[in-house]
Structure 1
Amino acid sequence: MSLTNHGEDALLSLFKDAGPYYLALFTVAPGETGGGTEVSGGAYARRQVTFGTPSSGSMSNSAAIEFPTATASWGTAVAWGLFDAATSGNLVWYGSITTPKELLAGDIYRVNAKNLTLSMD
């Protein structure tokens, strides 16, 4: 069985409306049951994400997401996760970072608009 694009967009809209959601960076990727190693320390903090309107079974961030300037090494970001809270909370969506990035003191990690895409496919 499969959902139509309309069905996928409807579910993504429900997900979007249940927010807000906060983007986290991981140095060890999480999985279906959570886990992984989220970046911590060095001024790291999750960032709130604003999503655009779902279309054809996917939706992307509508504005850039910029993390604070690292005041210490954060390690190499290899994965991302969306949480339902700015701290603690539940991991609700996750994925790999296409090009892992070592984040050193003084670095700023930025996700440009439309570069974080959630897809039902």
Structure 2
Amino acid sequence: MTYAAALGMTVLEATPERTRVAVTVGSTGLNMHGTAHGGLIFSVADEAFAIISNQHAQAVAVETHLSFFRAVREGDLLVAVATPERVGRTLATYRVEVRRGAEGEVVALFLGTVSRRETVHPAG
């Protein structure tokens, strides 16, 4: 089982233009204040970042940053929406908005840059 699967993440969409990953905050995802642990929020953003950045190249993260804007509660659905900011030959930067619900408020903003290693060729 992968880390994302163990956390209960679901891939809703996966294209080079937009990738969406969802997770519902459960009781095991809470911090000492009873709100979503920052690691859970980071994890859903990072999963969307990993999926989108590996669509057409083998990508390895070189830098990430996450800003928290709003508290998240147990039962909230988080949807990480990843979009490209700039995709070059060797480096690519992606923006991931973590939203409460499919079209809800942005609760966190993730920016990440990857090193692109090689082109991925489709099977067949």
Q: Structure 1 or 2: larger helix share?
A: 2
Same fold (TM over 0.5): no
TM-score norm. by structure 1 comes to 0.33
